């Protein structure tokens, strides 16, 4: 049996593209569920950088060998308002790579892992892992079939 005008590369590309769209849709569901589960505090603090200082050193190798180098280190951002962590939850992907991820936090809101896993001073209040676990059961079917 012979199939006329069959284009395997175009068919494979179409299947891959649809699977990637469906994976993005699944991760959007994870983001939505994580935002719903994310704890929102009541503390509001004015935004300032703490520990801002100038760092100086003399490299022993490289282009600036023997010359004093100075730069300003920002320290830690102290500003907070309710919902900051929830607002940083997002999906990130590189089109065509098949790699889809969900992130929480930024360089200013850098405490997502403390909330998720807890510390010795604070109990864990997971929001990312449970959101992923809820979607995981239907994930493969959704990516393959889109529903």
pLDDT score, position 117: 94
Residues of the chain with pLDDT under 70: 1, 77, 96, 146-147
pLDDT score, position 147: 63
Instruction: Please tell me the distance from the alpha carbon of residue 38 to that of residue 87, in angstroms, as a whole number.
Output: 10
Q: Please give the helix or strand (H or E) that residue 71 lies within, else none.
A: strand 69-73
Strand ranges (E), 17-68: 49-50, 53-57
Nearest-CA neighbor of 26 among 106, 93, 85?
A: 93
Q: What is the share, in percent, of the chain residues with pLDDT greater than 90?
A: 25
Report pLDDT digits (tens) over 42-64: 878 787 777 777 778 888 887 87
pLDDT score, position 88: 92
pLDDT score, position 1: 63
pLDDT score, position 139: 80
Nearest-CA neighbor of 118 among 108, 107, 129, 131?
A: 129
Alpha helix positions (H), 89-127: 112-117
Question: How much helix, strand and coil, in percent to the nearest 5, is found in the chain?
Answer: 40, 20, 45
CA gyration radius for the chain?
A: 23
């Amino acid at each position: 049996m012979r199939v006329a005008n069959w284009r395997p590369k175009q068919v494979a590309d179409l299947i891959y593209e649809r699977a990637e769209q469906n994976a993005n849709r699944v991760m959007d569901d994870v983001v939505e569920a994580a935002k719903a589960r994310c704890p929102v505090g009541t503390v509001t603090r004015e935004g300032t950088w703490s520990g801002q200082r100038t760092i100086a050193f003399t490299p022993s190798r490289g282009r600036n060998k023997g010359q004093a180098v100075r730069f300003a280190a920002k320290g830690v951002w102290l500003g907070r308002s309710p919902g900051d962590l929830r607002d940083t939850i997002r999906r990130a992907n590189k089109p065509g790579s098949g790699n889809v991820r969900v992130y929480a936090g930024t360089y200013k809101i850098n405490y997502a892992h403390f909330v998720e896993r807890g510390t010795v001073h604070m109990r864990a209040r997971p929001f990312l892992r449970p959101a992923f676990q809820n979607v995981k059961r239907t994930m493969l079917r959704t990516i393959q079939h889109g529903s």
